[in-house]
Amino acid sequence: MTTVYGDFLREAFEQMNTAVYCAERSISGVAAIATIEPAHRMTTVLLRYLGDLAPERAPARERLSQLWDRVNHPRVRLEEADVILRDLDRQLAGRSRNTAHPVPVHLAGAALALGTGHDLLKTHYNPRSDWANAIEDMGVRHAVLDIVARQSQLLGRVIKAVKAEVRRAGLDSVRLSRLVTALQTAGDITFRVTAPGAAETLAAVPLRVVQPPSALAATASVEQLCAGIITNAEGIRAARPEAGGQLSSADCRRNATAAVVALHCAYQAVTMLTRRYTELHPARELLVRRALRQSAEGLHRVLDRWQAVRHRWQRLLFDQRRPGPAGHLDQMTIGWAVSSRPTQNGPSSCVTCRR
């Protein structure tokens, strides 16, 4: 059975509705404190949806229009809520938390389901597939905006239910009220999908499956695998005897540039993996996070060294191509001066220039 985006979307709404139900019934102080961190994770995921998949920002001249209210206003309110939740989470560092309570558990599950669904949609962009055109349809983008608004509204109900218990922990009641207002305001401006089939199209986007590479033919030994490589290399050397196995400065510069590009791509990939793992598991598996961070630091150090090598070869190549001083440069300057300033006494002008 093929996995589709609708599976993750359905799971996210079920998790959020359960979190709302449990929060509005009863919740203790340590459990209420534990909801701040997954709530911050949820706003981060929703902002990623708005940044990547929702309709584009409206121009500044249209900020008073209905389109700007529907598109940009939820983004502004969610950004405000994200900042408040991040600050509250820092203030609660070290406090005892009941992370096993149903409310934080279901909040974290909803954020995980939506984040995984976002990753599923983004798989159709690199390289681009036919489903990317369907995702970029304006009706489908409005459906994405509707999902973000509904999730914000549910999150606002959870925060409103736990606000009293969180306030008893010593947090600013004004900021908590602003947080609830920001989430509810972002959820109130719900974009009702008018395009027929837009929500169904979004839910039907499948997980992109890349065909595995073809397996290598079975060989008897490693020598047989290397035979073709060695033969081709010898053929290249025979075709270019004048090279003598020596690389030119331009070749060295190109090799250094290729190394810089490869290391930069590897560094970006490890950095993205570290960020995604931290968002999905912020309080667990510190050993994995430490290993990823050390890998990124090691790649950055090697990248800096290859950057220095590339710059050095670039300077050497520039010095080799720099033209030497021309012996007749003064004569050219004198001739230009005479032709550009004609006077009655031409020779006297030449004498003046030579001085």
Residues with Cβ within 8 Å of 10's Cβ and at least 6 positions away in sequence, in order, are none
The secondary element (H helix, E strand) that includes residue 68 is helix 66-91
What's the pLDDT tens digit per position in 268-315? 888 888 887 777 776 666 778 788 888 899 999 999 888 888 888 888
Instruction: Return the minimum-mean-pLDDT range out of 7-21, 209-223, 248-262.
Output: 209-223
What's the pLDDT tens digit per position in 52-89? 887 655 444 444 445 445 445 678 888 899 999 999 88
- Is the pLDDT confidence value at 107 over 80? yes
Mean pLDDT, residues 33-50 taken together? 92
Q: Are 310 and 256 in contact (CB under 8 A)?
A: yes
Q: Are 19 and 107 in contact (CB under 8 A)?
A: yes
97 vs 149 pLDDT, higher one: 149
Give the integer Cα–Cα distance in Å for 232 and 174. 73
Tokens representing 206? 């499948």
Give the integer Cα–Cα distance in Å for 272 and 264. 12
The predicted pLDDT at position 351 comes to 40
Give the integer Cα–Cα distance in Å for 306 and 256. 6
**If we measure between CA atoms, which residue out of 30, 80, 104, 56 comes closest to residue 184?**
80
Answer yes or no: pTM beyond 0.75: no
Give the integer Cα–Cα distance in Å for 218 and 20. 58
Can you give the residue ranges of every domain in the chain?
5-203, 248-321
Tally Cβ neighbours within 10 Å of residue 59.
Answer: 10
**HSE-up of residue 9 (Cα within 13 Å, Cβ side):** 21
Look-up of token digits 């229009």 = 65
Neighbour-count burial of 94, counting CB atoms closer than 10 A to its CB (0-12 exposed, 13-18 middle, 19+ buried): exposed
Bridge partners (DSSP) of residue 125 are 128
The predicted pLDDT at position 192 comes to 59
